[in-house]
Amino acid sequence: MKESSSTVAPQGDNGRCRLTLVLRIGACACFSGWAWQHLVWSAPYDAALWNPDLFGWLANALSDSWESYVAEIMTDQRIGMAVRLVGLLYLAMAVVAWTVKRDSLVQMCFLGLGGGLLAWTAFCKCLGDGCAMAILLEQGGQVLSPVMLILALRRGVRDRWTIRVALIAFCATFAGHGVYASGLAPTPGHFYGMVSAILGLGEQGADIFLKTVGILDFVVCAGVFVPALRRASLAYAALWGLLTALARPVAGMSLAAPWWGADQFLHEAVYRAPHAALPLFLLLALTGQSTMGEDESVAGKKGNSDRSDAETIA
């Protein structure tokens, strides 16, 4: 018995390293993409910063009145500097996500701050789109990617809370996308544009395609809780998450554009990396046969077994 357990242990360690690497890549890429968005282009903060109910206090601090706050050129310059500062923070968080260790409290706190900034960005995008709740849902995977990395390092990759948060983030991301693609909320025009540019479909064909994949988004959210459908649902979701992320640069980049348009579109695929990393992590964590039924150490101690996926989902 001792000999067999000693041979299985390295396999479990390798499995944990692979699962943690998937989460590292997702969080690091997400932070890197948003750093590029902030440093090179702009951030979706206008709807919040120009909202007097939210930032009336800032107007009082910087100007005599809301009208002067809105009109002052210095206000734009200050906001621009703040956006660049947030971009530098995102860049630093990308480094932390790649290098964080489970016993570093400072790095963990920094990742938590990163999750807060991602939540703020998602909230501002929601305001900019008329408080569309589906935007918040779709951003769930990005917002929770650093949280999942923290849980995986501190509690374990198959700890019940790590899996629960991953499931919440996964379902939120794909359900939010499904709401728009299926037409339950007005489908954004760039969805049709990407489908037409990549697949060459007309308006009617693009509409049928989007409604089909929108329904499949809801199907995989339900399928992850059905053992017979779990593997297929997560495999499809990982592939679809990757393809939807790559659709932005594929549809937007052109050989005729400066830098082929990579500076405008490539980072949009990069910060959507959690959309593919989430289902891949769950696929490896819930269906990996080498560690099924084992228990993960909550405190990092060796010898404990991982909770089974059935117990975790229950």
Is the distance from CB of 217 to CB of 265 less than 8 angstroms? no
Hey, is 73 helix, strand or coil? helix
* pTM of the complete model: 0.86
Residue 89: name the closest of 25, 39, 53 by CA: 39
Distance CA 178, CA 57 (A): 37
User: Token pair for residue 198?
Assistant: 């990549």
Is the distance from CB of 26 to CB of 273 less than 8 angstroms? yes
**What DSSP character marks residue 151?**
H
**What DSSP character marks residue 171?**
H
Q: Which sequence spans correspond to the domains of the chain?
A: 11-313
Burial class of 200 by CB neighbour count within 10 A (0 to 12, 13 to 18, 19+): exposed
Distance CA 300, CA 184 (A): 44
pLDDT, residue 294, reads 41
pLDDT, residue 230, reads 96
Distance CA 264, CA 274 (A): 20
Q: What is the CA radius of gyration of the chain?
A: 21
Contacts for 230 with CB less than 8 Å, ≥ 6 apart: 223, 224, 286, 287, 309
First to last CA, the chain: 30
Contacts for 233 with CB less than 8 Å, ≥ 6 apart: 219, 220, 223, 224, 226
Instruction: Please provide the size of the chain in residues.
Output: 314
pLDDT, residue 68, reads 75
User: Token pair for residue 87?
Assistant: 């971009």
pLDDT tens per residue across all 314 residues of the chain:
444 433 333 456 788 899 999 999 999 999 999 999 999 998 888 888 878 878 777 777 766 677 777 777 566 787 889 899 999 999 999 999 999 999 999 999 999 999 999 999 999 988 877 767 788 899 999 999 999 999 999 999 999 999 999 999 999 999 999 999 999 988 989 899 999 999 999 999 999 999 999 999 999 999 999 999 999 999 999 999 999 999 999 999 988 888 888 989 999 999 999 999 999 999 999 986 433 334 444 444 443 444 444 444 54
What's the Cα-to-Cα distance from 43 to each of 71, 79, 150, rounded to whole Å? 20, 10, 26
The number of helix segments (H) and strand segments (E) in the chain equals: 15, 0
C-alpha angle 258/276/198, rounded to 5°? 45
Is the distance from CB of 195 to CB of 206 less than 8 angstroms? yes
User: Token pair for residue 154?
Assistant: 């501190």
Count of CB atoms within 10 A of residue 1's CB? Answer: 5
pLDDT, residue 257, reads 80
User: Token pair for residue 135?
Assistant: 């935007």
Distance CA 97, CA 116 (A): 14
Count of CB atoms within 10 A of residue 12's CB? Answer: 19
Is the distance from CB of 295 to CB of 307 less than 8 angstroms? yes
